[in-house]
Structure 1
């Protein structure tokens, strides 16, 4: 049986809020009608027994009484089963009569009159059942109206508490859909406890998440206008074909989700096969290194400088999918796998030679028959084989082998892991990415009074949640750390071009931690193998920075990791 609509109770401050006054009035009115409709459902008397124990007599007494209970709604199925045998017999009887109607006009006329009478009888029985069902239908309609009124209040409160930025396509629609789903889930699981404030709290997270997703969706469409136009065209064609308004929103949601979610189109066999083939190349390389001296003999000494062998399987599949423009088979990507591996891993040797001398001795017999030992130095070539393995890191390759559009598609797949977080579980693939949620942080309002810092945050916060892409420097490709900071400051008053982390540090004036303020840049060294500054973020105060990590988000720079790599704060020059 469908659950009744929650009966929300409102606090005085909610009732006096002009924004919520009208939706609360609608909820109150709908609640009163739903309660009245529930009360109008006929009651039935149930005979109950009550047993009591009389201590003085030691006997048990039984008292009979009637108690009202909700009368069970009449079942249409009950009537259908009851009437089925008679209806079947009548249908067979009419079929036999129709076979002789053409031969006897009198029989035909009598048959028509009989059918009309039976039809009237069925209508009368149907009307009687309909009359008995009327209170239940009225109550069901009242509950649905109350659901709509409750949802209207919650959506209005969500819009008040989480206002949608202007200019974001479909932002308000996405928020309403998120609140509606949350309301349905909460009603189904019985999470509503009567308080309107608690009910609204249950939907607040959904509304806030919808606002964030709306921003990302809008930015995605801006970065991929061609894909959006194709999706919009498909949607319009489907609307024309089906011409059903109620289905249009579902189709639109599906089309938008298909563009934004970016699911891997290839089969599991193809993707797992490509990963296995690439892993085999790594295993063969490791085997060569383990037996290098046996396979490359003849040197006096061997020195090794080896990067770690390994890759992220999601990076591999995202590269293959972006590079091949969609679905692919294992046979189609074998050459690509070889090319990628050659670019990622380079095993080289450098042989150094030097002239050394060694002492040699021999026994010499003099003419007089005496013997003695002679010693001398003999020069020879000494060889040292320097073996080096450089792993470029597979995630560094897209920016160098793809065009901007392909890198954008690659970043899109990496932002969702192709909607297949189950494809490469970390238990089996320890280097596999996992979906990460950016850390939330609310910048204190007083910090936003600085116009320059506020301009930086207006731009920087648009890209929270974007994936880290090595070498990325625009919303279309996503960003690495220096590309992100360069983009933000170039779009909030400065004009410095695309700078590296070290270059950004060079244009700043060093600032002590005690004097650092929101809007300064913060620099780190040694976060990966590179000379000089290796990471940069935007300081937002209270020990927090906003930077391109995995994904772009806030980080606490007072943790042991960041403190161990901290280099300096830097203040940007005046624009």
Structure 2
């Protein structure tokens, strides 16, 4: 189980661990109580305002009724006289009857339209509320931070594999990308738990995380053969005709055993986990609406960027940028350097996964490839050899996601053995590392745009 707590311990470092923990817990409890009190005060203030408004409306209604009763008596006599005058006037002027009918029709249409607009505005208000996150911003951001922290811990666990599992000759990594769409997370929690709090969601977040990711280790021993040089001795006849023992070397095949640890990470995707949940139809519809509107709070996750520096050995070759097409691709792609990987993401608002990022760059630098996956992009390309590959070609990898066949990762080749791709985060990466060499599939060249 991961530790979610990141509470400030300033002023308590000198205390023994047990007292410091108790002090921290006390501070957290005070904060939560204070927040609950504030919410209750707001709710009471709203209730009092409604009551005062209701009382004022009732008193005003009573006065209006009394005045109306007084006027009704005198109005009846006036109406009788007015009606008699109107009848006499219409009899003398028939065209007036037509004008009155038109005025009456306009009045009826206006009344109907007024009711329709009222209903429409009410419907629009309901739609706006249905597409809005109801939890406090700090709780929304906090819940997503808890999920991200679990992912960081998972990545740290994988990175420490060779330290934690010593004694193996080789380590194999079969890893799918780590990342989630924060809007999927918050939209789902809103639909199911409405105005949730960060504290109440910790266990729910852990459950979703455990369903999304599956990390397993497998060990095996392989028997292999290798060619070795050995030393032997043999008896030969010397120059004097006497037997002499001679030392010589020879090559031989020998078997040896290799102990291998395989690290395998499957990522179902948070969206797939949510879609497997038994939501009611109305909940499914609202979930989709919240994804579309981003809870009417699209700015909440603007911190999806990470400050990164580009090492000198990963700089794009200056001569490659003389190609206007490739320069346009790099100009678009570099806008999102440091952007965190988001499973299924395909635009700057959602974030990007590997294929989503490449599709976006291509669609905004002259091509029209739509939104497709790695195999879809590969199908649009002509395969070229590594010797023929040039900046602007796509580079494909296989086996990075064991649940998928064919191409499972894609990047934009920049020359000099580097690529621009959506890892985690979007960055320049050498393709000469052991991992990418082991998973290399092919280079692909898109048709001219």
TM-score bracket, normalised by the shorter chain, equals 0.3 to 0.5
Q: TM-score, normalised by structure 2?
A: 0.40
Which structure has more RCO (C-alpha within 8 Å, separation ≥ 6)? 2
Pick the structure with greater CA Rg. 1
TM-score scaled by structure 1? 0.32
